[in-house]
Amino acid sequence: MKILYFGRLQDIFGRTEIMPSRHPNQTVSELLDELRARSPATCEALSRPFRVALNQTILIEETVVLHDEDEVALIPPVTGG
Protein backbone atom coordinates (compact mmCIF):
# COMPACT_ATOMS: atom_id res chain seq x y z
CA MET A 1 0.00 0.00 0.00
CA LYS A 2 1.15 3.51 -0.75
CA ILE A 3 -0.06 6.80 0.76
CA LEU A 4 0.39 9.97 -1.31
CA TYR A 5 0.36 13.44 0.24
CA PHE A 6 -0.56 16.59 -1.66
CA GLY A 7 -0.45 20.35 -0.98
CA ARG A 8 0.03 21.44 2.61
CA LEU A 9 0.08 17.81 3.73
CA GLN A 10 3.40 17.34 1.90
CA ASP A 11 4.86 20.17 3.99
CA ILE A 12 3.48 18.82 7.26
CA PHE A 13 4.53 15.22 6.64
CA GLY A 14 7.83 16.26 5.02
CA ARG A 15 7.43 13.91 2.06
CA THR A 16 5.20 13.15 -0.88
CA GLU A 17 4.52 9.50 -0.09
CA ILE A 18 5.00 6.69 2.40
CA MET A 19 4.56 2.95 2.19
CA PRO A 20 3.30 1.87 5.63
CA SER A 21 2.57 -1.69 6.58
CA ARG A 22 -1.09 -2.57 6.32
CA HIS A 23 -3.03 -4.43 8.98
CA PRO A 24 -5.40 -7.21 7.86
CA ASN A 25 -8.91 -5.91 7.17
CA GLN A 26 -7.81 -2.33 7.89
CA THR A 27 -10.25 0.30 6.63
CA VAL A 28 -9.40 3.75 5.32
CA SER A 29 -10.88 5.21 8.51
CA GLU A 30 -8.60 3.04 10.67
CA LEU A 31 -5.59 4.04 8.57
CA LEU A 32 -6.42 7.73 9.08
CA ASP A 33 -6.77 7.17 12.84
CA GLU A 34 -3.36 5.48 12.84
CA LEU A 35 -1.81 8.42 10.98
CA ARG A 36 -3.44 10.93 13.36
CA ALA A 37 -1.95 9.08 16.34
CA ARG A 38 1.63 9.52 15.08
CA SER A 39 2.08 13.08 16.35
CA PRO A 40 0.20 16.24 17.33
CA ALA A 41 1.13 17.82 13.97
CA THR A 42 -0.29 14.93 11.95
CA CYS A 43 -3.38 14.84 14.14
CA GLU A 44 -3.98 18.54 13.53
CA ALA A 45 -3.28 18.25 9.79
CA LEU A 46 -5.71 15.35 9.38
CA SER A 47 -8.37 17.09 11.46
CA ARG A 48 -8.69 19.81 8.82
CA PRO A 49 -10.75 19.28 5.66
CA PHE A 50 -9.23 17.01 3.04
CA ARG A 51 -10.41 14.38 0.56
CA VAL A 52 -9.34 10.78 0.34
CA ALA A 53 -8.88 9.01 -2.98
CA LEU A 54 -8.44 5.28 -3.24
CA ASN A 55 -6.82 4.10 -6.46
CA GLN A 56 -7.52 7.49 -8.07
CA THR A 57 -11.21 7.56 -7.12
CA ILE A 58 -12.49 10.02 -4.50
CA LEU A 59 -14.09 8.13 -1.62
CA ILE A 60 -17.46 8.99 -0.18
CA GLU A 61 -17.13 6.58 2.75
CA GLU A 62 -14.00 5.61 4.65
CA THR A 63 -15.21 2.10 5.53
CA VAL A 64 -13.52 0.51 2.50
CA VAL A 65 -11.06 -2.26 3.42
CA LEU A 66 -7.54 -1.66 2.11
CA HIS A 67 -5.41 -4.13 0.15
CA ASP A 68 -1.64 -4.37 -0.31
CA GLU A 69 -1.68 -2.94 -3.84
CA ASP A 70 -3.90 0.07 -2.99
CA GLU A 71 -2.88 3.69 -3.39
CA VAL A 72 -4.40 6.15 -0.91
CA ALA A 73 -4.12 9.87 -1.70
CA LEU A 74 -4.77 12.55 0.91
CA ILE A 75 -5.79 15.73 -0.87
CA PRO A 76 -6.37 19.07 0.92
CA PRO A 77 -8.60 21.74 -0.59
CA VAL A 78 -6.99 23.60 -3.50
CA THR A 79 -6.77 27.39 -3.31
CA GLY A 80 -5.17 30.04 -5.43
CA GLY A 81 -5.82 31.91 -8.55
What ranges in 1-81 are assigned the alpha helix state H?
8-13, 28-36, 40-45
Instruction: Give the model confidence (pLDDT) of 33-76 as tens digits.
Output: 999 998 898 899 899 889 999 999 999 999 999 999 999 999 99
pLDDT at 79: 63
Q: Give me the domains of the chain, ranges plus CATH numbers.
A: 2-75 (3.10.20.30)
| Cα separations in angstroms, 51 against 9, 24, 28, 75 | 11, 23, 12, 5
Residues 6+ apart with CB under 8 A from 28: 52, 54, 59, 62, 63, 64, 66, 72
Region 27-35: mean pLDDT is 94
